[in-house]
Chain A
Amino acid sequence: EDKVVQSPLSLVVHEGDTVTLNCSYEVTNFRSLLWYKQEKKAPTFLFMLTSSGIEKKSGRLSSILDKKELFSILNITATQTGDSAIYLCAVGDGSSNTGKLIFGQGTTLQVKP
């Protein structure tokens, strides 16, 4: 059964800390890995990764994919209270030809002042 597992499930840090969120996957027909940030209800898109070893970066956030070891990490440097959210990892399932995403459980990040 295809699955996506995120760790840790929750994390509490202080402003200025650096955090690393992990996502591992077992998907038969991998096509892409996506990271989303969910603050209230609507997940908002952060990154899509399809190739190993190529870092994607947006401000203080960066992410990289390892297709050999089947995982991705999301790094957030110099964290701010506004980074508090649930971070969702999802893998595109190519076997269905539908583009549907398989999501992990999410990592809840709380950044304290």
Chain B
Amino acid sequence: GAGVSQSPSNKVTEKGKDVELRCDPISGHTALYWYRQSLGQGLEFLIYFQGNSAPDKSGLPSDRFSAERTGGSVSTLTIQRTQQEDSAVYLCASSLMGAEGETQYFGPGTRLLVL
């Protein structure tokens, strides 16, 4: 596609429910990143994919968070048993190869609200 797309745009869920957030990176980009932006904060790195594997999961805040990527393209971030502190904007970015200093292109994000 022309840019990174994410769905849904907004998600409201109840505490304790599971949610799935989807990211479609730019076609041909092998690197994919998930970030989280809480209100008034900068972006916090969650996980990095190179192809279908995730060599860096160091930013995932707890074992309730998981992600996968299939076909070297679409990625899904899953949050199990959501908590109110999970409320944030979840941003996905992709880059061509994942090299240091390479420009990352961001999607519009999913705004998650946990009631």
Contacts and interface: CB of A to CB of B under 8 A. Distances in A.
Contacts of B25: none
B55 interface: yes
Interface stretch (A13-21, A57-65, A70-78, A98-106): A98-106
Contacts of B41: 105-106
Contacts, number: 81
A100 B98 CA distance: 8
B103 A45 contact: yes
Interface string A74-113: 0000000000000010101110111111111110000000
B48 A100 contact: yes
Interface residues of A, number: 30
A43 interface: yes
B103 A103 contact: no
A7 interface: no
Contacts of A6: 42
Interface in B36-86: 40-45, 48, 50, 55-56, 58-59
Interface string A17-33: 00000000000000110
A1 B95 CA distance: 25
A88 B101 CA distance: 16
A31 B44 contact: no
B42 A106 contact: yes
Contacts of A96: 48, 56, 58
A52 interface: no
A45 B105 CA distance: 7
Interface string B80-101: 0000000001010001001111
Interface centre among B40, B42, B48 (most CB of A within 10 A): B42
A41 B100 CA distance: 24
A85 to B, nearest CB: 13
A90 B102 contact: no
B43 A101 contact: yes
Given A94-B100, A100-B56, 6 more contacts: A41-B91, A41-B111, A42-B107, A43-B106, A48-B103, A98-B50
28 contacts: A4-B42, A6-B42, A31-B100, A32-B100, A32-B101, A34-B103, A36-B106, A41-B111, A42-B4, A42-B91, A43-B91, A45-B103, A45-B105, A92-B100, A93-B100, A94-B100, A96-B56, A96-B58, A98-B50, A98-B98, A99-B95, A99-B100, A100-B33, A100-B59, A103-B42, A103-B43, A105-B41, A105-B42
